[in-house]
Chain A
Amino acid sequence: MNARKLLYILSLLVIASMLIVACGPADSNNNADMDNNMANEPAANEPAANEPAADEPAADEPAGFEYPFKNPDTYVVASFGEPETLDPAWTYETSGSAFENNIYEGLVWFERERTDVFVPILSTGWEANDAGDVWTFDIREGVTFHEGGTLEPHDVAYSMQRALLQDRVDGPHWMTHEVFFGTYSIAESIGDGSGGVADGTPEELVAACELVKSAVVADDAAGTVTFTLVQPAPWFMAILANSFAGAVVDQEWMAENGDWDGDCATWQDFNDPAAEESILFNVANGTGPYVLDHWTPGEEIVLTANQNYWRADDDPIWEGGPSGIASIQRFVYLLIDEWGTRLAMFEAGDADYVVVPAQFNSQVEPYYGEITCDAPDHKSCVEVASDGWIQAYTGYQRPIMTPAQFNQAINSEGGNVFQGSGALDGNGITDDFFTDLHIRRAFSYCFDYDTVIAEALDGEGTQAQGPIIAGMLGYRDDGFVFSYDPDKCAEEFQLSESGVWDTGFYMQIAYNTGNEGRRLAAEVLKAGIEDVNPNFQIQVVGMPWPVLLNARRAGKLPIYVGGWLEDFHDPHNWVHPFLHSGGAYGRVANIQDPLKTELDTMIAEGAALTDPDARRPIYEALQLKAQEEAIMIWMYQPLVRYHFSPWIEGWYYNGAYSAGSFSYIYALDKVGP
């Protein structure tokens, strides 16, 4: 009996102690809150935990803290995101093309931070005819591939032809086909263009291949390659600087290793391969300053400096630029999905660069040392600390934009959960809900741009003006933009003839689970709309990517919060996807006539001109129209930060690089203390 009583007491004690543990941290948290810099200095803090934490934040960092110098000559990046393949013609995502930019080279490359000035790489010069649709490049001599082959003009031509003919179905070559042939795929050049590659007769297939070969012609004797475009394309150089079209491979080596040998009778066997079917999936043979050492999927990718690099020591790539063999001998890219681990590695000196999601910026700010800021009067330029060890580069405008796309003709066939009841009865929306300009404008007024920028981007972003991003041809100095204004929002709703103000509505906005930025944008839109009228109801739902993709394709989503990263730096790559009826966003936005025809015509006009002064008014008009017609909610463009260890030198920002931190390692140095 005694033991039993004891047990009662003991059990109670166990529970009580659990509760005490549960309540315990509240105290230490309050301390931590007061002194918000002590996050990672636990051992030193313990004795002081009960004292008022009024110390200088600097006291946390032991005086004379020295950031460790590890891995000399090795540049270590901890990041997430893995290439789909290392075949440049196949690649259509940033991670893969960043590696390819180091391994492969094209005829031209961007001059340092410029996105519109190009330096010759595998060419020594070029000229275009007066019309601007025939380009001839002089091919550099004395260049060798990693595996020993010598660069000849036919290799350059072969590489472009291979890219055009490989043309995987979800790949980047809709752009390449557009500049060369005015089509969007190789299939359109086969027969009458209605079938796929598999439907072509042998003659039609050979004809399509010959067409490609006639547009890209090498002259080994003269040492030139000539490209013939369907019409002048102002962005042709920008496409050539991209690895998907520009990267040069060794024709003989490719044929020996089982890829296409250049014969028009067999190209269809190499058309549209799965990623792993290309021989370049995980081996590489380029001319670039780095050689692929190994790729262990899910873990790491390692490049080493090309010891036989062709560039002489006295031949810098641009004035004052790098020359000779690369300075950084080894590049290690570690796949670390967990942010916490990346941070720990950064602190320990194990990584020279880590990817920091914007919402965690505050966790690294206490360690900021040297800060370079690109957006002078912006929040991101506020000095946060200056005696730390991180080299922080802040305020760079990446060519990315997040819009919310309206669907002006929602597909309700077979039921559509996203539009509720499907009628404007307070529990749903009709198919043509967003055809109403007033409703689109109301939504644009009800979106709190500043809150989203403050919360999703930690204040580092700017409201978008329309499809064309800041600093680009077509971006206006003035003109109308929406701002968050609940009164105007309510007014627009009341102006709508649908009577939505009285009936109310219900709809769902879906985002793909895990995409925090899109979720937040949807939540802020929801909050803004629901605030103006209690009868308005929006449900924000996280969904797996397949569901979202499927629903979007079927035209069922009333609103899709998306994102666009440019493929090449030209306004055409912004207005076409967003506003053209065949664009990636345009074709599911279901813009109605006459606006649809008007936009399509203007876009075609702008693309046909080469003179920037002639193009400008067209793009400015498109920009204004997109805003006034509230075709989408033009939400925001992010400003990004780059965080390096103190040892990386020579970095600069180029907006056209697919990975700011390692797209061109050749230009960087790692210098010890």
Chain B
Amino acid sequence: MTNYIIRRVMIIPILMAGISMLIFAMLSLLTPYERAALYVTDIPKRQGAIEGIIEKYGLDDPIYVQYWRWMVGQKDEDTGEVTGGVLRGDLGWSKVGKSTVAEVIARRLPATAELAIWSAIPLIGLAVWMGIKAAVNHDKFVDQILRLAAIAGWSIPTFVFGLLLLLKFYSDLDLFPPGRLSIGMNEFIQSDAFIQYTKLHTLDALLNLRFDVFKDAIRHLVLPVVTLSVVSWAFLLRVTRSSMLDTLRQDYITTARAKGLPESKVISRHAVPNALIPVITVGGLTLIGLFNGVVITETIFNIKGIGSFLAQAAVALDVVSVLGLTLFSSMILIVGNLVVDVLYSIVDPRIRLD
């Protein structure tokens, strides 16, 4: 297995290179003038302004030169000093984020992470429980209802669902507002009286023993978490159900039943642990799949996280930001996948990684 992990880790740079090249190729479809538009928010007032910008940022260099510059940095002809370069750990300057890409990630990741972590709880807990419930009652009423609910959940557009929730619980009942914290709370947590250990507001609130902050953060989290998890919830429910069904048909379950074990024990002791094995894989993938959901969810609920930023940068055609953030999120996906695979082989000895 160590070999397998090493091999997988070795392949990461190749994937990364492939990904960055693909994005670069995509962006090379743009003319220098279109790329320069990022730096010009209004019509240029001086003649030759756009041409000057193109020259300043080297936008008309051949695309491989630009790629190389982005990868290994730029050498100053006079001083010989090299600046930038992804390989040297510099993801570059984000024009849209008005800071370095690394700073953008550092600033925006906590919001996304908090959202994803909280979404995972109802997701995994509820979906797995319901999936088991459905399988145990196979083809009975409960099963059919859950199945229908899963399809419905799978069919609802994230943004419609989010808007409907806002309609009811914010616009109508004024229970759960958008954003991450109320303004007053936001001011408070930035003061010296509150130490931000992780920038995950809920966790920090608990660490500071400030339950009012915790409550406020939760109040803002409820709707986005529900919105984000509903699609994946449906998916996971179905996987759990079918995995459980498969397990229930296995010989050893029949044997256990034949031995006269009570049904509840058969299920909790023998069936569930085995049925959960494939769920781990899919569950991991689902969490990764949340990445797609965050773009819409963060946009609707006005959360300043990675997803909403990337959407903003992509629309503005900010090449450096898009490249940096895509690389970063791809990295998370790849590592996440690897972890899931390894976990999978640990819990299920039948699977051999090679």
Contacts and interface: CB of A to CB of B under 8 A. Distances in A.
B42 to A, nearest CB: 8
B45 A584 contact: yes
Given A14-B148, A174-B45, A350 B38 contact: no
A345 interface: yes
B46 A174 contact: yes
A616 interface: no
Contact of A341 (B45, B48, B141, B178): B178
B36 to A, nearest CB: 8
A11 interface: yes
Contact of A550 (B33, B179, B183): B33
B38 to A, nearest CB: 7
Contact of A6 (B56, B57, B141): B141
A642 interface: no
Most buried by A among B49, B57, B140, B309: B49
A71 B44 contact: no
Nearest to B95: A275
A547 B34 contact: yes
Given A297-B99, A553-B50, A274 B56 contact: yes
Interface string A312-348: 0000000000000000000010101110110011001
Interface string A9-25: 01100100000000000
A549 B40 contact: yes
A562 B98 contact: no
A7 interface: yes
Nearest to B171: A42
B173 A70 contact: no
A285 interface: no
Contacts of A338: 178, 302
B141 A276 contact: no
B43 A562 contact: yes
B18 interface: no
A351 interface: yes
Contacts of B39: 170
A42 B171 CA distance: 8
A281 to B, nearest CB: 9
A332 B30 CA distance: 39
Interface string B148-180: 100010000000000000000001111001110
B93 interface: yes
Contact of B53 (A10, A169, A299): A169
A332 B315 CA distance: 28
Given A341-B302, A577-B45, A350 B178 contact: no
A614 interface: no
Contact of A549 (B33, B141, B171, B184): B33
B144 A350 contact: no
Nearest to B178: A341
Given A42-B171, A169-B56, A546 B309 contact: no
B223 to A, nearest CB: 13
Contact of A582 (B47, B108, B177, B182): B47
Given A274-B57, A338-B302, A550 B44 contact: no
A111 interface: no
A261 interface: no
B183 A351 contact: yes
B107 interface: yes
B109 interface: no
A60 interface: no
B354 interface: no
A218 B185 CA distance: 50
A545 interface: yes
Given A3-B140, A71-B187, A10 B145 contact: yes
A587 B134 CA distance: 71
A184 interface: yes
A33 B42 CA distance: 40
B46 A549 contact: no
B320 to A, nearest CB: 12
Interface string B303-327: 0100001000001010000000000
A331 to B, nearest CB: 13
Interface residues of A, number: 54
Interface in A497-553: 544-547, 549-550, 552-553
Contacts of B30: 546
A298 B52 contact: no
B238 interface: no
A185 B46 contact: yes
A562 B43 CA distance: 9
Contacts of A344: 177
Given A344-B177, A584-B45, A350 B56 contact: no
Contact of B172 (A10, A42, A582): A42
A170 B47 contact: no
B94 to A, nearest CB: 9
Interface in A537-587: 544-547, 549-550, 552-553, 562, 577, 582, 584-585, 587
A129 interface: no
B99 to A, nearest CB: 5
B44 A584 contact: yes
A582 to B, nearest CB: 6
Contacts of A170: 39-40, 44-46, 49-50, 52-53
A297 B105 CA distance: 12
B35 interface: yes
A40 to B, nearest CB: 8
Contacts of B145: 10
Interface in B35-82: 35-50, 52-53, 55-57
A93 interface: yes
Interface string B87-110: 000000100011100011001100
Contacts of A204: none
Given A11-B148, A42-B171, A184-B47, A298 B309 contact: yes
B3 interface: no
B301 to A, nearest CB: 9
A50 interface: no
Interface in A585-601: 585, 587
Interface string A167-181: 001100010000000
A297 B187 contact: no
Interface in A142-172: 169-170
Contacts of A549: 33-34, 36-37, 40, 43, 50
Nearest to A71: B187
B31 interface: yes
B192 to A, nearest CB: 14
Nearest to A584: B45
Nearest to A184: B46
Contacts of A11: 148
B308 to A, nearest CB: 9
A276 B56 CA distance: 13
A545 B317 CA distance: 10
A341 B179 contact: yes
Contacts of A562: 43
Nearest to B166: A340
A411 to B, nearest CB: 14
Interface in B264-309: 302, 304, 309
B77 to A, nearest CB: 11
Nearest to B33: A550
A131 interface: no
A296 B107 contact: yes
Contact of B49 (A7, A169, A275, A297): A169
A298 B141 contact: no
Contacts of A82: 98
Given A42-B172, A549-B36, 14 more contacts: A3-B144, A14-B148, A43-B174, A93-B41, A93-B42, A170-B44, A170-B46, A174-B46, A297-B98, A338-B178, A544-B317, A547-B34, A549-B33, A550-B37
10 contacts: A170-B44, A298-B104, A298-B309, A334-B183, A345-B183, A544-B317, A546-B33, A549-B37, A553-B50, A585-B43
Shortest beta-carbon contacts, A-B, top 4: A169-B52, A546-B37, A350-B183, A297-B98
